[in-house]
A and B are shown apart, each in its own frame.
Chain A
Amino acid sequence: MSEAAWALSPKIPEGPLEHKWDLHRSGLKLVSPNNKRKLRVIVVGTGLAGASAAASLAELGYHVDAFTFHDSPRRAHSISAQGGINAAKNYQNDGDSVWRLFHDTIKGGDFRSREANVYRLAQVSNSIIDQCVAQGVPFAREYGGQLANRSFGGAQVSRTFYCRGQTGQQLLLGAYSALSRQVASGQVCMHTRTEMMDLVIVDGRARGIITRNVVSGRIEACVADAVVLATGGYSNVYYLSTNAKASNVTATFRAYKRGAGFANPCFTQIHPTCIPASGQHQSKLTLMSESLRNDGRIWAPEGVSDKRAPNEIPEAERDYYLERKYPSFGNLAPRDISSRAAKEVCDEGRGVGPTGRGVYLDFAAAIQRLGRDNIRGRYGNLFDMYRRITGEDPYATPMRIYPAPHYAMGGLWVDYNLMSNVPGLFVIGEANFSDHGANRLGASALMQGLADGYFILPYTIGDYLARTPTTSTSPDDVEFKEAATETRARIQRLLSGRGRRSAATFHRELGELMIEKCGMSRSKEGLAEALQSIPAIRDAFYREVAVTADDSGMNSALEYAGRVADFLEFAEVMCHDALARDESCGAHFRIEHQTKDGEAVRDDDRFCNVSVWEFAGAGEAPTLHVEPLVMEHVQLAVRNYR
């Protein structure tokens, strides 16, 4: 990339914080309706961000090519989000406001996100609820027919809208229905079972992608005037995570290798309330919604290696450690803090369950207070899911929970317009580094995905398209041909291995290393070790991986090996980032930087910034660039939830 592209201007508009977005929107250039018809946009991914963006762009009159590797857009992993979506409606009259949602989000992110972006997010949050209601999303209601709210971690107001424990599902189905309408109208061309393999840049602009049809194995090129990545997060770098099995880093990592900056890759959220792993066969971890912490009390035995059944441990010998350490937020302390506290308890040998990596989430008091039926009404489906997976009845015995990798705050760097440093490449939803800083608050991911897709990108992409002279390009151009050839070579390299190990074994090995060295706590030594170990795993992977040698059609082993190959490179970028960020903040906890009570210690003088990594060539350490964060409206303070 040229030096100019790496100036990383965040393009934050002038004006007072509360008017920036309105002023900016009014100044954006528009594309006339008859010109929109001539413009094509590629949207990769059909989760909340991708589906909402594809539908909204099509409504505006652009021609959209939407891609998903699933059999249907409705399968995207947004569907698994349980708890809810935040908005600053203040329907509860409990003092909520756009300002408060903005402030909670910035503080929750430990002051490592852009004020202007987060403020805009809080502003459009209310429109999202309106839009979803209009689509027929069946939000929970009060007896009077008004929308209901629940509380979530990191906030003292009740601002979370929900559909039982299936909020992500219902919001995604809303966006999917809007998308379906545009598919029917011919405005969106839907490419299912098609995976993005590479990004194509022509004359310095993102102009298309290379794809592989996972059924036929065909490599194809798709050309457009702009490319939108909505490809989700990379928590599966840890192998075991709450992400769906197919979630991966390939699309964003390929864009990184083509020159897009990767921002804050070490900011990964470990969710405190997941069902602990039961053994080596474990293929993924299951999250239990954070909303359970509204009524459940988290505790561990006071004594080390207490093997008694939970109901046999008397009240006096239980340590409700979150209530003890954080009396004002208690069980609703933010995710990073709650996760770390659980790890500490287990590190002390007070963990429960067969593996000793677990703590109790106890509903006995809530059941006594509210009755079994009320608890069933609130959390019935989650209790059923827990019972099905563990074989234990959470109405009778406390749940066992343990933190699990869940969400990536890091992602491709974008400016205020959600465009990366590669002109024409837009990144939305979890795939960008966005608005959550070093730690995301509960019920904010759905908000951000839909804010980007419905209410921000459709405006900002128009400005880019209006300012960019249309030039014709075709799949026969040299850039597309070269990228396709490189994709085929990568596939061939995987197929030509004559090894005896499955890709999954390498993925598991990488995951164990990453959770140990670059997970809930990190150290200089540990990260240096990881940076030594990862290339060795990668070399072994290319030497020993077994992939069934057939690229003529569906080959699930090949698909998976390709994703693992990218994780094996990407993990290094994460560790470089975690090593360079010589402070603790949010989910990034460097053991060298903590108070005597074990709380994170930020270094605002050196690290109140976004770290952005540039690909510097194969085998080279990536180059670090920095975007300073300027806090004009919030005061940098120690995050205090005590």
Chain B
Amino acid sequence: MDLTVHVWRQKSVKDQGAMVSYPARNLTPDMSILELLDQINEELITQGEDPVAFDHDCREGICGSCSMVINGVPHGFEKASTTCQTFLRSFRPGVDLYLEPFRAAAFPVVKDLMVDRSALDRIMQAGGFVSVNTGAAPEGNAVAIAKSTAEDAMDAAACIGCGACVAACKNASAMLFTAAKVSHLALLPQGNVERGERVLRMVAQMDAEKFGSCSNQGACSAVCPKEISLDWIAKLNREALRSQFQRIVTQADRTVNQR
């Protein structure tokens, strides 16, 4: 099969950038979008031209590197899929492909289809962990965790940190990403001690990174390759509220005790 592929080319963050069209021939339906780009790049390289830069690595849908908007949808229209797991067989013959980077103020373009998602790392650094040093752990079975709780925590923890949720959101909100981590750790007894502090710190960092607000429309969850549920955003709001109330109550307690 043959296709015309329109690719966003942008030399660096300072460059303006534009769509450039490439004809791609002799493709097979079993090729992934990334293998299609490999082929385009092979031709560019042998012609002495600059290949298209894009993030990719595992090509199994788990590392979260690949990050493209395919025909207007982050990771393409196929449900629960990453860019690397999107194959040409899922496109109608004759259709043109438009490949663009994930766009958000917090994700500046590095080059072409590659963006800087380090803001997500900084949200994690703000509190996406349990403060337990190596060697300080109790026996693994010391605390029983209900199977359903472990399963729920795993649902939230399945996030691959690709940032498609941000790219799909009209406000470029990172609520789904943040909610997934906050919920994963809040559900488990191990994460309970820092639960209140964690959520407030992570939300504060999210705001500082210039991610937008959530308006609960669910574009994030619809494109999420791991189908992270919108329910976690509700939980994030609940966790934040809970923590703020707890602060007020703790403060009030102190005041009473001082009297």
Binding site for B on A (CB under 8 A): 52, 55-56, 59, 70-77, 79-80, 89, 91, 126-127, 129-136, 138-147, 163-164, 166, 169-170, 173, 176-178, 180-181, 183-184, 190, 192, 215, 244-246, 278-279, 281-284, 286-287, 384-385, 388-389, 391, 454-455, 458, 500-505, 546-550, 553-557
Per-residue contact bits, chain B 168-206, to A (CB 8 Å; 1 contact, 0 not): 000000000000000011001011000000000000000
Of A136, A192, A384, which contacts B185 at CB under 8 A?
A136
Of B35, B49, B61, B65, which contacts A281 at CB under 8 A?
B35
A192–B114 CA distance with the chains assembled, in angstroms: 14
Task: Sample 19 A-B pairs with CB under 8 A, ordered by A number.
Answer: A59-B134, A79-B58, A79-B64, A91-B141, A133-B140, A134-B130, A134-B137, A134-B138, A136-B130, A141-B146, A144-B144, A169-B158, A180-B129, A192-B118, A388-B81, A391-B89, A502-B46, A548-B50, A556-B53
User: Taking the complex as formed, is B244 at the interface, i.e. its CB lies under 8 A from any CB of chain A?
Assistant: no
Chain B: CB-nearest residue to A498: B48
- Tell me if A502 and B45 are in contact (CB < 8 A): yes
Measured as residues with beta carbon below 8 angstroms from the partner, the interface class of chain B is: 35 or more
Q: A141-B147, A177-B128, A557-B51 are in contact. Are A79 and B141 (CB under 8 A)?
A: no
A458–B134 CA distance with the chains assembled, in angstroms: 10
Of A131, A181, A555, which contacts B137 at CB under 8 A?
A131
User: Taking the complex as formed, is B218 at the interface, i.e. its CB lies under 8 A from any CB of chain A?
Assistant: no
CB distance from B110 to the nearest CB of A (A): 6
- Tell me if B110 and A554 are in contact (CB < 8 A): yes
CB distance from B2 to the nearest CB of A (A): 14
- Tell me if B62 and A130 are in contact (CB < 8 A): no
Chain A: CB-nearest residue to B192: A136
A455–B135 CA distance with the chains assembled, in angstroms: 8
- Tell me if A246 and B57 are in contact (CB < 8 A): yes
- Tell me if A278 and B30 are in contact (CB < 8 A): yes
Residues of A within 8 A of B50 (CB): 548, 550, 555
Of A70, A80, A141, A557, which contacts B145 at CB under 8 A?
A141
Known contacts A279-B31, A281-B30, then 7 further A-B pairs from the complex at CB < 8 Å, ordered by chain A residue: A130-B139, A134-B138, A141-B146, A146-B144, A283-B38, A388-B61, A554-B114
- Tell me if A245 and B131 are in contact (CB < 8 A): no
User: Taking the complex as formed, is B231 at the interface, i.e. its CB lies under 8 A from any CB of chain A?
Assistant: no
A158–B10 CA distance with the chains assembled, in angstroms: 52
- Tell me if A556 and B185 are in contact (CB < 8 A): no
Binding site for A on B (CB under 8 A): 11-12, 27-32, 34-35, 38-39, 41-42, 44-46, 48-51, 53, 55-65, 80-81, 85, 87, 89, 110-111, 114, 116-118, 120-121, 124-126, 128-141, 144-147, 150-151, 153-154, 157-158, 160-161, 184-185, 188, 190-191
Residues of A within 8 A of B53 (CB): 554, 556
- Tell me if A244 and B157 are in contact (CB < 8 A): no
Residues of B within 8 A of A549 (CB): 48
Residues of A within 8 A of B118 (CB): 71-72, 192
- Tell me if B57 and A385 are in contact (CB < 8 A): no
The 7 nearest A-B residue pairs measured at CB = A145-B144, A134-B137, A177-B129, A184-B125, A130-B137, A138-B153, A138-B154
Chain A: CB-nearest residue to B121: A72
- Tell me if B57 and A548 are in contact (CB < 8 A): no
Residues of A within 8 A of B62 (CB): 79-80, 166, 169
- Tell me if B140 and A138 are in contact (CB < 8 A): no
CB distance from B199 to the nearest CB of A (A): 14
CB distance from A234 to the nearest CB of B (A): 16
Q: Which of A70, A141, A385 has the most CB of B within 10 A?
A: A141
Q: Which of A134, A144, A279, A286 has the most CB of B within 10 A?
A: A134
Residues of B within 8 A of A138 (CB): 150, 153-154, 157, 184, 188
Residues of A within 8 A of B63 (CB): 75-77, 79-80, 244
CB distance from B38 to the nearest CB of A (A): 6
CB distance from B75 to the nearest CB of A (A): 12
Q: Which of B45, B49, B132, B135 has the most CB of A within 10 A?
A: B45
CB distance from B113 to the nearest CB of A (A): 11
- Tell me if A139 and B141 are in contact (CB < 8 A): no
- Tell me if B129 and A178 are in contact (CB < 8 A): yes
- Tell me if B31 and A281 are in contact (CB < 8 A): yes
Residues of B within 8 A of A500 (CB): 46
Residues of B within 8 A of A502 (CB): 41-42, 45-46
Q: A80-B60, A133-B140, A504-B42 are in contact. Are A455 and B150 (CB under 8 A)?
A: no
Residues of B within 8 A of A180 (CB): 121, 124-125, 128-129
A164–B81 CA distance with the chains assembled, in angstroms: 18
A551–B218 CA distance with the chains assembled, in angstroms: 42
CB distance from A501 to the nearest CB of B (A): 7
A411–B87 CA distance with the chains assembled, in angstroms: 35
CB distance from A230 to the nearest CB of B (A): 15
Q: A79-B63, A146-B144, A281-B28 are in contact. Are A136 and B161 (CB under 8 A)?
A: no
Q: Which of B53, B121, B138 has the most CB of A within 10 A?
A: B121
- Tell me if B145 and A279 are in contact (CB < 8 A): no
A502–B137 CA distance with the chains assembled, in angstroms: 50
CB distance from A202 to the nearest CB of B (A): 30
CB distance from A161 to the nearest CB of B (A): 8
- Tell me if B161 and A163 are in contact (CB < 8 A): no
